[in-house]
Amino acid sequence: KTRIAVFCSGGGSNFKSIYRSIAEKPLNAEIVLCLSNRSQCGAMEFAHEQGIATVHITEKQFDSFDEFADAMVTRLKDAQIDVVLLAGYMRKVPDAVVRAFPERMLNIHPALLPKFGGEGMYGIHVHSAVIAAGEKESGATVHFVNEEYDKGKILLQRAVPVLQGDTPEILAARVLACEHQLYPDALEKLLAEQRS
Ligand code: GAR
């Protein structure tokens, strides 16, 4: 079975949808680790409930950024992780960690990349920017993670309409519902590609 680690910072609704889809489909994969920069959040709570191992790790716990990055790699190697899924992880992953998982680390972004990505574009800020730009559609993107923030090769993308009167919160909810379908589909695609 492909051993998966999910990285989260918040509610973890994408983590939950991936977890459920693995339980329902014969994906031959297993989420074995939840890593977070927050000791308490919806994602970590869910991991505890499901008996999934958790790692709470932040830069502040270490003397240097390099030590932090090395510790992250070590934890992932110790858990024999094959694939890393960033699911609402609101930190940039250290380059050393990205390099340890070439073509095996995915992120979900709540917009149609390459538009509305990059520094400062996360969570609700993305949806505010999409509405302010007068876009007619937004959506979600699952892409490979490389050392350039939000710039890795796109694996799967799906659009949703931006409707008259949308607030960032309303649009966020529509995009999130789309993400819950898209991320499991993207994982399935990745696993199929890895096996072929
Ligand atoms: C999701 O919309 C995800 O795309 C976004 O944060 C939300 C997390 O929700 N991620 C980013 O903005 C990353 N740059 P969740 O914790 O309920 O899955």
Distance from residue 119's CA to the centre of ligand 1 (Å): 15
Q: Residues with Cβ within 6 A of ligand 1?
A: 8, 10-14, 87-88, 108-110, 122-123, 176, 179
Computed over every residue of the chain, the mean pLDDT equals: 97
Distance from residue 7's CA to the centre of ligand 1 (Å): 11
**Contact by Cβ (8 Å): 77, 35:** no
pLDDT digits (tens, 9 = 90+) for 113-135: 999 999 899 999 999 999 999 99
Structure tokens at 73: 């790699």
Judge whether 152 is annotated as a binding position.
no
Structure tokens at 163: 């409707």
pLDDT digits (tens, 9 = 90+) for 50-82: 999 999 999 999 999 999 999 999 999 999 999
C-alpha 178, offset from chain centre: 14
Given pLDDT bands bounded at 50, 70 and 90, which one contains residue 196? confident
